């Protein structure tokens, strides 16, 4: 679940965050029916909250969004995935929400996200939903965001789960953006999920070039081999390269 990404998608590509507090960027606007946009990207790996989602292989990801001047929005997002025990070859997310900027410049965002894994064996209980609430504010060249996601039955049927994250983007000259992120995932049934409660963190940069966004992000977690799932793949630090475009 990397560039959302609602929250999983800034952290869109890696995963979705500025989206939670700013909404999608718009390529087509009509005062009556709202605005439409699309995005597509190619990434060297798909990490969601610090953990690998596709066998440490490359991923093609993309989505479509609609937003209205009232603050309401709808969207979808998809990526190829690979879990050893599943027959699923894709992840498909749907989300709906409301975002607004207050008079003091503070952005708020409330959304509902549904994560769907077409083709996965039903008994694996991969499909789940989350409720997310985000805040964000731009101060000078920096944008600070925070968000919390909650599910009553998380991925794999691992029961209640809460994810809290914070991030900062700082824009330099010529469009270069430096980004940092840290998040904490709590899961009620750690054994079923396959990891303990853990921290994930990342630091990276993105740069616009010829209509594309080039990104490089280092992503890691604090999960170590002292936990009982020592053979878990994709928990160690890695650098993710990406090339994406919005329409």
Phi, psi of 20 (to 5 degrees): -60, -30
* pLDDT, tens digit, 9 for 90 and up, residues 30-59: 667 889 999 999 999 999 999 999 888 999
* pLDDT, tens digit, 9 for 90 and up, residues 179-226: 999 999 999 999 898 889 999 999 999 999 999 999 999 999 999 867
CATH of 7-246, one of 2.10.109.10, 3.40.50.1100, 3.10.20.310, 2.40.160.40: 2.40.160.40
83 contact partners, CB below 8 Å, separation of at least 6: 53, 120, 126
- The pTM of this model reads 0.87
Measured CA to CA, the distance from residue 212 to residue 180 in angstroms comes to 21
Q: What residue ranges do the domains of the chain occupy?
A: 7-246
């Amino acid at each position: 679940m990397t560039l959302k990404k609602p929250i999983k998608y800034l952290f869109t590509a890696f995963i979705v965050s500025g989206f939670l507090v700013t909404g999608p960027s718009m390529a087509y606007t009509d005062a009556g029916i709202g605005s439409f946009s699309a995005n597509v990207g190619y990434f060297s790996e798909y990490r969601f909250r610090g953990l690998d989602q596709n066998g440490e292989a490359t991923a093609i990801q993309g989505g479509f969004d609609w937003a209205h001047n009232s603050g309401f929005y709808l969207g979808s997002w998809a990526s190829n995935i690979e879990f050893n025990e599943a027959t699923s070859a894709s992840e498909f997310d749907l989300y709906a929400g409301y975002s607004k900027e207050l008079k003091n410049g503070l952005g708020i965002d409330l959304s509902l996200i549904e994560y769907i894994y077409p083709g996965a064996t039903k008994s694996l209980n991969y499909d789940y939903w989350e409720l997310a609430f985000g805040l964000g504010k731009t101060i000078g060249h920096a944008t600070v965001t925070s968000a919390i996601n909650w599910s009553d039955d998380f991925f794999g049927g691992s029961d209640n789960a809460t994810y809290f994250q914070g991030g900062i983007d700082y824009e330099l000259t010529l469009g270069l953006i430096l980004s940092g992120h840290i998040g904490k995932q709590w899961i009620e049934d750690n054994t079923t999920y396959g990891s303990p409660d853990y921290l994930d963190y990342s630091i990276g940069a993105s740069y616009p070039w010829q209509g594309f966004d080039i990104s490089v992000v280092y992503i890691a977690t604090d999960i170590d081999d002292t936990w009982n799932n020592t053979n878990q793949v994709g928990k160690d630090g890695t650098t993710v390269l990406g090339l994406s475009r919005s329409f």
